[in-house]
Amino acid sequence: MTFEAQLAEELSADQIIDEILHKNETARACLTCSFQAEDMIVLDLLRKRVPDIPVLFLETGYHFAETYEYRSRMGQKWSLNLVNVIPEKTVKQQESELGILYRIDPTQCCQLRKVEPLMLSLEPYRVWFTGLRREQSPTRRNLKQVENHRLPSGTELLKVSPLAAWDWKQVWRYTVDNEIDYLPLYDRGYLSIGCEPCTKIPHAGADPRSGRWGGAKLECGIHTFSKPE
Active site residues: 220
> What's the closest the beta carbon of residue 228 comes to ligand SF4, in angstroms?
23
For position 110 contacting ligand SF4 by CB under 6 A, the verdict is yes
Residues 135-174, one symbol each (x = binds ligand SF4 by CB under 6 A, - = not), give ----------------------------------------
> What's the closest the beta carbon of residue 35 comes to ligand SF4, in angstroms?
14
For position 53 contacting ligand SF4 by CB under 6 A, the verdict is no
Half-sphere exposure of 188 (CA within 13 A, CB side): 11
Residue 156: which of 126, 121, 192, 180 has the closest Cα?
126
Listed in sequence order, the residues at least 6 apart from 202 whose beta carbon sits closer than 8 Å to its beta carbon are 191, 192, 208, 209, 210, 211
Provide the b/e sequence for 35-59 (b: ≥16 CB within 10 Å).
bbbbbbbbbebbbeebeebbbbbbb
- CA 88 to chain centroid, in Å, comes to 20
> What's the closest the beta carbon of residue 115 comes to ligand SF4, in angstroms?
9
For position 106 contacting ligand SF4 by CB under 6 A, the verdict is yes
> What are 82's strand-pairing partners?
55
Distance (Å, rounded) from C-alpha 102 to C-alpha 212?
11
Residue 167 and residue 37 in contact, taking contact as beta carbons nearer than 8 Å: no
The region of 8-16, 18-26, 101-109, 161-169 touching ligand SF4 under the rule CB under 6 A is 101-109
For position 194 contacting ligand SF4 by CB under 6 A, the verdict is yes
For position 115 contacting ligand SF4 by CB under 6 A, the verdict is no
Considering beta carbons, is residue 74 or 110 the nearer one to ligand SF4?
110
By CB under 6 A, how many residues form the interface with ligand SF4?
A: 13
For position 223 contacting ligand SF4 by CB under 6 A, the verdict is no
Distance (Å, rounded) from C-alpha 84 to C-alpha 28?
17
Q: Give, in order, the Cα–Cα distances in Å from 105 to each of 84, 111, 209.
A: 24, 10, 19
What's the start-to-end Cα distance of the chain, in Å? 8
Q: Which residue is nearest to ligand SF4 (CB)?
A: 195
> What's the closest the beta carbon of residue 106 comes to ligand SF4, in angstroms?
4
Considering beta carbons, is residue 131 or 194 the nearer one to ligand SF4?
194
> What's the closest the beta carbon of residue 201 comes to ligand SF4, in angstroms?
16
Residues engaged in binding ligand SF4 (CB under 6 A): 60, 62, 102, 106, 109-110, 113-114, 194-195, 197-198, 220
